Structure 1
Amino acid sequence: MSTQKHVLQEAGTVEENQLRLDQGKSEEIVEALNADLADTYMLYHQLRKHHWNVEGAEFRDLHIFLGEAAENAEAAADDIAERLQALGGAPVANPVNQAEMATVEFEGDDVYDIRTSLENDLGMYGDVIESLREHIELATDLGDHATAEILREILVQTEEDAHHIEHYLEDDTLVTDAAINR
């Protein structure tokens, strides 16, 4: 293992990019994308937590859905990180820095009932969706149509997952009170 250390790019900096996007515009977009990256990882970790801890009559369906939703968030984070790197930025990768940079708040380590957990997820999804919309507009206004398109694709999947949670939170269920109280 080499002990030589050579920093190629300092965190928080934006280098010139080959995409011919103005340096100032790149810096604005990279800052927005790093916030999206941090938020997406907070969402990912919360979804994974709920995937691990879900119990009850609807365990299997919710366990599968939450696992898939977490995978969707992880894929979105990867797309965001790769785009901001292409723009000359350094993706925020340290979990401590991600938590500090995130505009959403992780619910904590306590385990809650599944309804509370899903309500917390839906709230976080809403915040992530609003931020994605703002950053799509920012990228479009700055002439970075490729970033706007990447964020649009992420937004579609994020909204779809949030909508599924809305369905899970509806009052209608096939599980009867008698089955729950056994």
Structure 2
Amino acid sequence: MKNKIGLNQEKVQELSEKLNDLLANYQLFYQNVRGFHWNIKGEKFFELHIKFEEFYDDAVLKVDEIAERILTLGGTPLHRMEDYLEISTIKSIKSDNIGKEAVGYVIDNFSTLIQKERVILDLSDQADDEGTNSLMSDYISQTEKTLWMLNAYMRS
């Protein structure tokens, strides 16, 4: 059975569930990075304050794109914080961390997100879902580059 955009309904349902999981993880990532932005201290304050803002600005755009993709597939995006907290692999982090410790958490969070994006990429390929495939491919490329840069920063 096909959905309204011509994709296999069963495969799309699984994709929607995985996308909701990614949505929940991006929401927790957003909150973590927002807290780091607000509470960063130390000698790297200026550069990290700006970088964390870049990360949460990007995350809020991705949250919207993921939710809209779920809707496009015919699913319903989660929207309650309770749901996000229940299914997210990324956990809420107290934001009184400074400097490299906060960057380490961001690296861990990005590593979780990219793993989930790769699973969705594989599923979207199997479902012939070019829209989700393209979205995840873009996210993965961006996250790989960001992880490379953050890991280089941690070596300083």
Find the counterpart in structure 2 of residue 168 from structure 1. Answer: 153
Q: Which amino acid aligns with 1:60?
A: F
**TM-score after normalising by structure 1:** 0.79
Q: Give the superposition deviation at 1:18.
A: 2.0
Partner of 1:151: 136
Q: 1: distance between equivalents of 2:29 and 2:95?
A: 16
Is the 1:72–1:157 Cα contact (8 Å) retained in structure 2? Answer: no
How far apart are residue 17 of structure 1 and its match?
4.1
Residue 149 of structure 1 and its aligned partner are, at CA, apart by 0.7
Structure 2, gaps ≥5 residues long? none
Residue 123 (structure 2) aligns with = 138
Q: Could you tell me which residue of structure 1 aligns to residue 26 of structure 2? A: 40
Take 2:88 and 2:143, find their aligned partners in 1: how far apart are those partners?
17
Whether the aligned pair in 2 keeps the contact of 1:17 and 1:86 (CA below 8 Å) is no
How far apart are the structure 2 equivalents of 1:140 and 1:103? 24
AA aligned to 1:122 is I
1-side partners of 2:30 and 2:148: how far apart?
17
Relative to 1, partners in 2 of residues 1:110 and 1:50: Cα closer, same or farther, differing over 3 Å? closer
Q: Given the superposition, is the C-alpha separation of residues 52 and 128 from structure 1 closer, same or farther in structure 2, using an over 3 Å criterion?
A: same
Q: TM-score, normalised by structure 2?
A: 0.92
| 2:88 aligned residue | 102
The number of aligned residues is 155
CA distance in 1, matches of 2:62, 2:148: 17
> 2:130 corresponds to which letter in structure 1?
H
Separation in 1 of the partners of 2:145 and 2:62?
Answer: 13
1:129 aligns to 2:114 (yes or no): yes
Moved over 4 A (4+): none
Q: Is the 8 A contact 2:34 2:52 kept in 1?
A: yes
Note the aligned Cα RMSD (angstroms).
1.5
Aligned equivalents of 2:148, 2:58: Cα separation in 1:
14
Instruction: Give the percent of matched residue pairs that are identical in Structure 1 and Structure 2.
Output: 27
Q: Which sections of structure 1, spanning at least 5 residues, go unmatched?
A: 1-15, 172-182
Contact 1:55 1:114 in 2 (8 A): yes
Cα deviations across residues 103-147 of structure 1 (Å, max 9, x unaligned)?
22222x251222211111111111111111111011101211221
